[in-house]
Amino acid sequence: MFDPVINSLPAFAGFFATAVALLAAFLALYVLVTPYNEIALIREGNTAAALSLGGALVGFALPIAVAVAVSHNLYVMIGWGAVAGVVQLLAYIAARLALPRLNESIPQGKVASGIFLASLALGVGILNAGCIV
């Protein structure tokens, strides 16, 4: 009864470990690209930073999940992970260009800015995931 699950555990472990590594790499890169340290801000209780970063992480994870479901190939998943990371970073850069004071708003804890960034990241992530073939 559980044989298919047990037999699939090594593949699951490989995909899951790779997905977590991609998520960690994206997190590190995203925090480097932003002019403020989201992790430090979140530790201080900054809701705007938590919303913004949380949205970016979920927006990145969605295409990774779809890549696994569609391809069942680690290398393809990694490739789509790279694409998803670039797309998320470009979305953040576009938001910064459109709203120049965004760099001040997040550290100041302006929740509206955090919600906007989270929504943008989620929307872009959903579109990105939907375009994976």
Please report, in angstroms and rounded to a whole number, the separation of the first and last CA atoms in the chain. 32
Q: Grade residue 5 by pLDDT with cuts at 50, 70 and 90.
A: confident
Q: Do the Cβ atoms of 58 and 83 come closer than 8 Å? A: no
- The amino acid that residue 11 corresponds to is A
Residue with the two structure tokens 């479901």: 69
**Residues 80-133: pLDDT tens digits?**
999 999 999 999 999 999 999 999 999 999 999 999 999 999 999 999 999 998
- In the structure, how many helices (H) and strands (E) does the chain have? 6, 0
* pLDDT at residue 4 tops 90: no
**Residue 98: per-residue pLDDT:** 94
For residue 3, the model assigns a pLDDT of: 86
Residue 1 has pLDDT above 90, yes or no: no
| Residues 26-83 pLDDT 10s | 999 999 999 999 999 999 999 999 999 999 999 999 999 999 999 889 999 999 999 9
Rg, C-alpha atoms of the chain: 16
Quote the pLDDT of residue 133: 87
Residue 2: is its pLDDT beyond 90?
no
How far is Cα 48 from Cα 18, in angstroms, rounded to an integer? 29
